[in-house]
Structure 1
């Protein structure tokens, strides 16, 4: 995966449209059922944010591409489990990651519908919670609200953290902890909102 990330960074200067497509694809795979357990999405997102801070990419398009990929992955995982979950749960890939499935079940039992929101920010169960929500036949409308809101906030926080803090990777890691989650969201939203209004006034 690291080699793929390095190759991506080497190409984006020449193919910016392709870069946004890759951002979408990585965000999708990082959140998709079980596959996401193999992809270091947090590192990728923060690194892309750092590149945007240096003007290589446009941060607004980065957030849109990443958030859209994450949201669609949640929806795909949810409906996959809702329609075929009982058959898939006995497959080899599900059995291989049974501890994460069990952890996801416990998390869902403790937090109910909000688990879809909070699970977005916990790496090891992020790709599992939407699948479990589908297995447990969560109401689709309610799931979509949590998935869309958390997906947008995830994009703002993780790409935005890299964008705000630049090359200070230790600071990014510290602020991306659960304790600083809300503070990061407020800081990033405030900064991007300010820049957006400046751009409107300038135009």
Structure 2
């Protein structure tokens, strides 16, 4: 895959925008994010602009637009398939990530959509699972557009600044995404455990109703 991105650095013009946009779109719409993270394509797009193979603002616009369209496609697929997605075969690792993402959506809704855009693997599954969970389109779209704007602009800008050194940045961001995912999972587990203990404590401290004095007197 590194060789593929190196080949991109030899291209110019519309084909550059088309390839970068297609990769960002397909990350979620076609679930290829497990192989090609969209942030890598966005950073390479910025690097291409830095090296004169494309223009900065058109590239940022393409990346943001492709991210939103890809997420909307994933959301629509999830909305149409719904519970039928449960039976889809996948590895235990991906199934675990899917369940973690569903739990995040259930607790945080639109905030989960926004934060999920910044976490590898979660970003790939989030829109589809949001659609399958029954989330309404309007809150999803508002959170998604805000996330795509900031995410797309930031990654293209990073690529523009680092130029040909983009590979080091991609490696660093990959490690950061893994750490972020771990933090989210640990935090979710902690919240679940605290709530469970509070519910258990509430049940344990509940007192039985006390009989009135009249009912205890002999007649």
TM-score between both structures, scaled by the size of structure 2: 0.70
How far off is 1:96 after superposition?
7.4
Select the residue among 115, 118, 127 that pairs with 1:118: 115
Q: Contact 1:49–1:158 (CA<8 Å) still a contact in 2?
A: yes
Deviations 1:15-73 (A, max 9, x none): x1111111110000123363222213322321221221122210111111111111111
Q: Note if 1:127 corresponds to 2:128.
A: no
How far off is 1:110 after superposition?
3.6
Aligned mates of 1:52, 1:175 — CA distance in 2 = 20
Structure 1: 4+ residue segments shifted above 6 A: none
Select the residue among 39, 62, 65 that pairs with 1:65: 62
> Whose radius of gyration is greater, 1 or 2?
2
In structure 2, the gaps of 5 or more residues are 178-219
Aligned mates of 1:33, 1:119 — CA distance in 2 = 17
Q: Contact 1:49–1:163 (CA<8 Å) still a contact in 2?
A: yes
Q: Contact 2:9–2:53 (CA<8 Å) still a contact in 1?
A: no
Q: Give the direction of change, closer, same or farther, for the CA distance of 1:4–1:61 in structure 2 (3 Å limit).
A: same
Is 56-65 or 86-95 further displaced after alignment?
86-95
Aligned mates of 1:124, 1:67 — CA distance in 2 = 18
Q: Tell me the equivalent position of 2:27.
A: 30
TM-score between both structures, scaled by the size of structure 1: 0.76
Select the residue among 108, 132, 136 that pairs with 2:133: 136
Q: Contact 1:161–1:172 (CA<8 Å) still a contact in 2?
A: no
Q: Contact 2:109–2:135 (CA<8 Å) still a contact in 1?
A: no
In structure 1, the gaps of 5 or more residues are 179-203
Q: Tell me the equivalent position of 2:8.
A: 8
Q: Contact 1:81–1:132 (CA<8 Å) still a contact in 2?
A: yes
Q: Give the direction of change, closer, same or farther, for the CA distance of 1:97–1:135 in structure 2 (3 Å limit).
A: same
Q: Tell me the equivalent position of 1:83.
A: 80
- After TM superposition, the structure 1 = structure 2 runs for residues 101-116 of structure 1, keeping only pairs within 5 Å, are 101-116=98-113
Number of residue pairs the alignment of both structures matches = 175
Aligned mates of 1:35, 1:171 — CA distance in 2 = 21
